[in-house]
Amino acid sequence: MHQALQRSEVLQQLGERIHQSSARLHAVRHCLPPSLRTQVQAGPIEDQVWCLLVPNSAAAAKLRQLLPTLLEQLATTDLAVRVIRVKVLRASTSGATR
């Protein structure tokens, strides 16, 4: 996989975005309550808009309350963004439905 990333400019850019998003989450994780830390996932980042992914609406509501703190924390680093969006991940359904 590493060789494929090195050969493709598009894959290199994707890998860099994944790295940037993960670095941002690492930088703000300590600002999250312990119960929320394991629920938040780093999502896509594009044009100074970063997306955080959570499993349910309760986690999303709590995370939205913390957005000013997260933005402030990122502003103290070279990882600043203009906007943080929160997206609730939909549970995948398996099997047939009746």
CATH number at residue 8: 3.30.300.180
95 domain-assigned: no
What CA dihedral angle connects 28, 72, 86 and 18, to 10 degrees?
-50
pLDDT at 13: 82
Tens of pLDDT, residues 12-66 = 888 888 999 999 999 999 999 999 999 999 999 998 999 999 999 999 999 999 9
Using 50, 70 and 90 to split pLDDT, how confident is the model at 98?
very low
Adjacent-strand bridge partners of 84: 50
CB 24 within 8 A of CB 76: no
98 domain-assigned: no
45 domain-assigned: yes
Q: Which of 77, 67, 23, 28 is nearest to 45 (CA)?
A: 23
User: Is pLDDT of 4 > 70?
Assistant: no
Total domain count, the chain: 1
Tens of pLDDT, residues 60-82 = 999 999 999 999 999 999 999 99
